[in-house]
Amino acid sequence: MMRFLPCLLLLITVQSAAAAELDHWEFGARIGGMITDNAVRLDGSAEVLTLTRSLGDKRAIELEVSADQLDFSMDYGLRHTTVSVNYLEVNREPLWDPYVLIGIGVSEFDAPSGITEGRDAMLQFGTGGSWELTENGQLLLRGDVRVRYDLNDSGQPGQDGWGDAIFTIGLSYRFQ
């Protein structure tokens, strides 16, 4: 799986060489929370960094690196680090740009007991939006909600092969 990501990045680079003048890059940083089970409570925190390349007016590809820690309100200490490539379909609107995304990647976990570490494939899908904060449109507020599904089933809390709901908000900087 880790060999797949560099090939996809190379494809993105080649595609971006033939991009239109309206295409741009964005660097973003977001923070948020996670819910891992059917109880509606915050189980942990998430931090996300993205590098996004628009492909025309309505599509984008992004490389995303994220880290999270799940505490389950008791300092449990389960950590994930993920690397993914996401495809965004954007619906441009006058005041904001809503989008849907689907992504594929790798999730590594570090747990406090039992099976203490591992690496699994993951999928994610979600929706969100971005709002321009400056007149030139370079600084954006971005928020999204998504479900991350990994193939990990170690039997530990938060490691049952089920999806995590992730809510994030942050800033993106658009540049040419």
> What is the tens place of the pLDDT at every residue in 75-107?
666 788 999 999 999 998 888 999 999 999 998
Containing 11, the helix (H) or strand (E) segment is helix 4-17
Q: What is the dihedral of CA 90, 92, 96, 101, to 10 degrees?
A: -10
Task: Give the C-alpha separation, 145 to 81, whole Å.
Answer: 18
What is the reported pTM? 0.81
Q: What is the dihedral of CA 169, 56, 123, 162, to 10 degrees?
A: 40
Class of domain 4-8+26-175: mainly beta
> What is the tens place of the pLDDT at every residue in 112-171?
766 667 788 899 999 999 999 999 989 999 999 999 988 766 555 555 566 789 999 999
Residue 176 has pLDDT above 60, yes or no: yes
CA nearest 64: which of 13, 117, 22, 107?
A: 107
